[in-house]
Chain A
């Protein structure tokens, strides 16, 4: 394998040992997760291993990755040292260790992998932005713990440059890819979310997800109404909202800006004449109605009412699918940007197609 001698001093190796949501189930990942305060302790321990010059621990809910530089005979020796460190640190038995699927990357591959991770190309949701902040926080911790040196500093700073370029110059982060995020996007284009009041009619799992997405983005309040009042209370308590008896929700409907309906009723629960009356009460202030139920809860004729924006599960799903397709289309441009930066850094461009992103195949893993 070609080496980036410009950044990695002669005789040194850049290595990455990791596992992620594709290679390892959550029950095993959580066993190997480093709490924030322990990540630096672990990095310091790796730093202290014979032959190691730099180290950084990246631990999120979807991945645990150890980045290091060492002056051992070759990369596999470095990978093995890191694997042994993990086994000791987490007190893993041999059978447990054997069951773990690590990816072992060196030099160009390790740098390429980091650039893809920072850009959100290796994330469960393609193009998600949270990972950028997580990697940055991991780097800041390692920097403060003085376990990074010239190579890792340059590599991570370049990775952040790549991440920003990918975010700004491509559409990899555009659009919504889940029903919950589509609901948030729609609400944001109708209201100021901070003033937005949400009502759940029916307390299904999907409506809970949508409501939580809205609340996490700043929705003002939530009312939960369900045939089982206990369930409504339970959900309202969980989300910091107010429960309402099922025979009362119609009277309170005009207070809500976003209605998320997911009852199991076999007929329409929200009808045209009800919404017309509510809109008069609201003095034609707009209303977003999200119908997640199958069979549908909301009469499609409601969509004809001025100021009412009705989206059923198919419409939401179609938008989420478009978002995913848009991101997939942007993927090749992202990979091109990454290769450009790798080349600028002295790494050898990839001649093989990059690993497909989320939902597809994986980085080449080697089972230990």
Chain B
């Protein structure tokens, strides 16, 4: 097995291990805000960094040349974002919900059929690499907003239905989750705006399917931000938008990578 494939497999196992550990701890009611809970995703982050470095060396460019690499890159961004956001919002439990999403992306990346032929060599344009990387980090922020939205909806349901279970005690307060969703959407929107601004500098045609999809995603989250800012939507509706809205950037990846 190649080193990069081994790193990817180990990263996937770290995520799955993190999920199993968290589920067992939650079922036993022994989940605590311990630094140990950060370990699986930190390990996955390091392994994925190693994988992306090796792929970058092999490709001679940012490792975003195939759908698999894009999924892995997004997975890496999500974990990075989680490691940045989680401690700030004291959301160690966010990892429990993030790990399955990242594990799913990594598994999908491994089962996808390999690209038939490598893309034709083209000169490396640093700005283009930056545009792609920044845009995908924005997608990771939206992914984390989606995960946080799911946590909000779950806790909100438990509160509304008077289901004071083990999970209820472990989940953060809904006001904290609502704040985290807002900030993640704003961070994502800011990054995506930067990515699109770079595309202007690159003079990429606006009719390019990738750019059209990026604008659709930008429009969606700009609308959500506006609704949040004007208090038109309730925190619950915002959580729904954050959770369900991620479907659009997720499926747009297909178009982006095959466009």
The stretch from A99-107, A188-196, A291-299 touching chain B is A188-196
Check if B159 is an interface residue, CB within 8 A of chain A. Answer: yes
Residues in A whose Cβ lies below 8 Å from that of B173? 188-192
Q: Which of A109-117, A121-129, A166-174, A245-253 contacts B (4 or more CB under 8 A)?
A: A166-174
- Closest Cβ of chain B: how far from A180's Cβ, in Å? 15
Contact for B30 among A169, A189, A192, CB less than 8 A: A169
What residue in chain A is nearest B159 (Cβ atoms)?
A: A309
Measured CA separation A285–B236 after assembly (Å) = 10
Q: Report how far A351 CA is from B30 CA in the complex, Å.
A: 29
Q: Kindly state whether residue B19 has any CB partner on chain A within 8 Å.
A: no
The listed residue (A189, A191, A315) touching B171 by CB distance below 8 A is A189
C-alpha gap A182/B169 in the complex (Å): 11
Determine if A354 is an interface residue (Cβ-Cβ < 8 Å).
no
> Does A174 contact B166, Cβ atoms closer than 8 Å?
yes
Contact A174 B162 (CB under 8 A): no
**Could you tell me if B30 and A168 are in contact, using CB atoms closer than 8 angstroms?**
yes
A273 within 8 A of B: no
A319 close to chain B: CB less than 8 A? yes
Looking across the interface, which residue of chain B has its beta carbon closest to that of A322?
A: B164
A189 touches B234 (CB 8 A): no
Are A185 and B164 in touch, CB under 8 angstroms?
yes
- Check: B150 CB closer than 8 A to any chain A CB: no
Q: Which of B160, B162, B169 interacts with A185 by CB under 8 Å?
A: B169
Residue of chain A at shortest CB distance from B32: A168
Residues of A at the B interface (CB closer than 8 Å) are 168-169, 171, 174-175, 182, 185-186, 188-192, 283-286, 303, 306-307, 309, 311, 315, 318-319, 322
In the bound complex, CA of A315 to CA of B161 (Å):
10
What A residues does B234 contact at CB under 8 A?
A: 284, 306-307
- Are B175 and A174 in touch, CB under 8 angstroms? no
Say whether A192 contacts B175, CB under 8 Å: yes
**A186 lies within 8 A of B159 (CB):** yes
Q: Which residues of B contact A (CB under 8 A)?
A: 29-30, 32, 155, 159-160, 162, 164, 166, 168-169, 171, 173-176, 231, 233-236
Is there an interface contact between A190 and B169, defined as CB atoms closer than 8 Å? no
Q: Please determine whether B159 and A190 come into contact, CB atoms closer than 8 angstroms.
A: yes
Tell me which residues across on chain B come within 8 A of A322, comparing CB atoms.
Answer: 164
**In the bound complex, what is the Cα–Cα distance between A190 and B175 (angstroms)?**
6
Please give, as numbers and ranges, the residues of chain B lying within 8 Å of A168 by CB-CB distance. 30, 32
Judging by beta carbons under 8 Å apart, are B236 and A306 in contact? yes
Chain A residues whose CB sits within 8 angstroms of the CB of B231 once the complex forms: 283-284
B155 contact set on A, CB distance < 8 A: 189
10 closest cross-chain pairs (CB), A and B = A284-B234, A283-B231, A319-B164, A171-B29, A309-B159, A191-B175, A189-B173, A315-B162, A306-B234, A174-B29
State how many angstroms separate the Cβ of B184 from the closest Cβ of chain A: 18
Q: How far, in Å, is A201 (CB) from chain B's closest CB? A: 21
30 residue pairs from A and B, CB less than 8 Å apart: A168-B32, A169-B30, A174-B29, A174-B169, A175-B169, A182-B164, A185-B164, A186-B159, A188-B173, A189-B155, A189-B159, A189-B171, A189-B173, A189-B174, A190-B173, A191-B173, A192-B175, A283-B231, A284-B231, A284-B235, A285-B175, A286-B174, A286-B235, A306-B234, A306-B236, A311-B162, A315-B162, A319-B162, A319-B164, A322-B164
